Amino acid sequence: MAIGSFKGLYTFLDIEEIYGIDASCLRKKVARGKFVIDEDIKKIGTT
């Protein structure tokens, strides 16, 4: 049995495909603090 769930979690590449937003643009917004960690985004490992 797996602990935790990845349901509802998307990679930058997933978001790029779904919404047509460039993954590099999303990474820049994260780096600039446009998203709240653990509310809007979640860091898993080095990703």
pLDDT tens per residue, range 3-18: 666 777 888 889 899 9
**Axis-axis angle for helices 23-31, 12-19 (nearest 10):** 120
Contacts of 7-10 spanning 24+ positions with Cβ under 8 A: 9/42, 9/44
Q: Where are the domains of the chain?
A: 1-47
Query: What percent of the chain has a predicted confidence (pLDDT) above 90?
Result: 17
Distance CA 40, CA 47 (A): 14
Instruction: Enter the pTM of the model.
Output: 0.62
